[in-house]
Structure 1
């Protein structure tokens, strides 16, 4: 789905990625690499092939848009280095994209390990009048792209049917990206009248219209 923000065009992808057309860059938030290995280490039964799923999904997005740059909005890795770091090293060295990590609260791996892979790590990023952060923030005269929240919504149908979906949560001066990673969970948000919700339903991104918000 294409949307306009401050006369710029962005594409909301059903993976949870955001493509900025004029800058030819991809923004992805909350991948939480290493989380599957962390769960398996502690005896939680998650199939081992789930480890490769995040890399596969990122690669699919990059092949579709062929961006010049990738920006990760924090929580790229879930915790300390584990076996998935080696897979990440192999993956990043095979890519040709400039990569920037806006550090999040889970990004506790020493930044020198990212620098060794050619990845720039910053606390925030300003591009024109857009502010890119991990936690949602407000700054005068800036539109904020952020993550951290793992936004989701609940759609309520006739009877007692409910459906929980990941979403892009668009406030007047902010867009909160959904978590990209597997097994990250969602935090259910309740939109105000001025908010827009772009729900991810399978392979589609669907705008939840204002007149239907009584059903959210």
Structure 2
């Protein structure tokens, strides 16, 4: 499992095609918008959507933990999608995953969905913080426009980039990197995306089929 190594705020970080960012010096994995229980929340409203998104999210985390030396995961908000995400089946799956990773530190920077859903169960042993959460040169946030002292790493937007060729177009998740902030793609399954229009000076890195590549902005 490989990624793209770049420098941000004087630190070496790795952009991962699995829609996460790795900060090797801190052994930290940064994830935005995992939205546990989103499918369950839709089903609670009577909307027929596929099951298994929580399991898919947890398996994706497991794959990253196996591939990289990680001691700390920072979730950039929207850990739970809604109050219905506290469903017994969702919590049971998450607790089973936590039991396999008891030494792993978890920190959640509260996002807008977290304020509505409520904090996750204390049994999951997730440290709760408000934005900005400052570590070294970085300010970990949910909202990209949060006033912060450091270089902002944020989510919320679920950025995707539209690639077009003639009549064909394709929307792909991406990282959006600017001078003072970076917006991470949504990590969670079944979360959708928002097409971004990069500003001058911003860089876009698109994710496709376990690969990551830069887009030349004209």
Q: Same fold (TM over 0.5)?
A: yes
Q: In the TM superposition, what whole-angstrom CA distance separates every residue of 1:56-103 from its partner, at most 9, and x where no partner exists? A: 111111111130111001001101111312211221232121110001
Q: In the TM superposition, what whole-angstrom CA distance separates every residue of 1:32-66 from its partner, at most 9, and x where no partner exists? A: 00011222333444332344111111111111113
C-alpha separation in 2, matches of 1:6 and 1:93: 35
Q: Closer, same or farther in 2 for the Cα pair 1:202/1:40, shift >3 Å?
A: same
Measured on the aligned residues, the alpha-carbon RMSD in Å equals 1.7
Q: Secondary structure of the residue that 1:126 maps to in structure 2?
A: strand
Q: Secondary structure of the residue that 2:96 maps to in structure 1?
A: helix
Aligned to 1:162: 169
Aligned to 2:34: 31
Aligned to 2:94: 88
Aligned to 1:135: 143
TM-score by length of 2: 0.89
Moved more, 181-190 or 39-48: 39-48
C-alpha separation in 2, matches of 1:162 and 1:110: 38
Aligned to 1:52: 55
Contact 1:18 1:27 in 2 (8 A): yes
Aligned to 1:180: 187
TM-score by length of 1: 0.90
Aligned positions, number: 209
* Structure 2, unpaired ranges of 5+: none
C-alpha separation in 1, matches of 2:178 and 2:160: 14
C-alpha separation in 1, matches of 2:82 and 2:146: 27
Contact 2:109 2:130 in 1 (8 A): yes
Q: In the TM superposition, what whole-angstrom CA distance separates every residue of 1:3-35 from its partner, at most 9, and x where no partner exists? A: 111221111111211000111100001000001
C-alpha separation in 2, matches of 1:203 and 1:65: 15
Contact 1:79 1:106 in 2 (8 A): yes
Contact 2:81 2:117 in 1 (8 A): no
C-alpha separation in 1, matches of 2:190 and 2:160: 14
Aligned to 1:10: 13
1:74 to 70, 74, 77: 77
* Structure 1, unpaired ranges of 5+: none
